[in-house]
Amino acid sequence: MNDESDYDDSTEELTIPIEVIHDVLGGRGSEQDHALFQAWVESAANASGPGATHVLDGKPTHPLPVSMLAMLQDWDKKQKNELVERDLLGEGGMAVVYLADQTIPPRQVAVKRLRENTVERAQNLFAEALLTGALEHPNIIPVHSIRVDPVKGPEVVLKRVEGISLSEAYAEDGSSEAGLRRLLPKLLQVCNALEYAHARNIYHRDIKAENIMVGQYGEVYLLDWGIAIDKNAELGVNRGTVGTPHYIAPEMLSGEPDDIDARTDVYLLGATLHFLLTGEPRHNAPTTLGSAVMASLSKPAVYPGTVFPELGLLANRACALEPDERPQTVSDFRQAVEDCLTHWDAIRTVQLAQADFEFVMTARVPDTALGDIVRRFDAAVLRFQVALSSWPDCKEAASRLTQVRLAMTRLYLESNDAKAAKLLLNQVSTEDTAYTRSIQDLRAAVEQASQKESRVYQHAAANDISTSKTGRRRAAFAMLAVCAIAVAVTSYQQVSEKVSRTAGQGLGIWLIGTVIVVGVLFFNRRVMLENDAGRRAMLLLILAPVLIAAIRTVVYIHDLNPVLIHPIETFAIAHVCATSVEVFPKGPYFAIAAMGLGILGLLVPDVAYASFVTALLMGCIGFVWQRLNSLK
381-439 per-position pLDDT tens digit: 999 999 999 999 999 999 999 999 999 988 988 888 888 888 888 888 777 777 888 88
Helices and strands, counts by H and E, the chain = 22, 12
Q: Show Cβ contacts of residue 625 under 8 Å, excluding neighbours closer than 6 positions.
A: none
Amino acid at 144: H
**Helix 330-352 and helix 354-362: axis angle, to 10°?**
40
**Helix 288-297 and helix 18-25: axis angle, to 10°?**
70
Q: Show Cβ contacts of residue 595 under 8 Å, excluding neighbours closer than 6 positions.
A: 571, 574
| SS3 at position 248 | coil
Give per-residue burial for 122-136: e unless 16+ CB within 10 Å, then b. Answer: bbbbbbbbbbbbebe
Write down the pLDDT at residue 569. Answer: 74
Question: For the chain, which domains are there?
Answer: 66-163 (3.30.200.20), 353-462 (1.25.40), 467-630 (no CATH)
Beta bridge partners of 154: 148
Beta bridge partners of 13: 55
Amino acid at 538: M
Write down the pLDDT at residue 585. Answer: 73
Which residues of the chain carry a pLDDT beneath 50?
A: 1-15, 45, 47, 56-58, 76-79, 499
Write down the pLDDT at residue 57. Answer: 46
From the centroid of its chain, how far is CA 261? 38
On whether the CB atoms of residues 575 and 591 are closer than 8 A, the answer is yes
Length reported for the chain: 632
Q: Please tell me the distance from the alpha carbon of residue 371 to that of residue 87, in angstroms, as a whole number.
A: 70
H helices of 304-417, in order, are 309-318, 330-352, 354-362, 370-390, 395-414
pTM over 0.75: no
As a three-state string, the secondary structure of 175-228 is CCHHHHHHHHHHHHHHHHHHHHHHCCCEECCCCCHHHEEEECCCCEEECCCCCC
Write down the pLDDT at residue 218. Answer: 87
Q: Please tell me the distance from the alpha carbon of residue 418 to that of residue 412, in angstroms, as a whole number.
A: 7
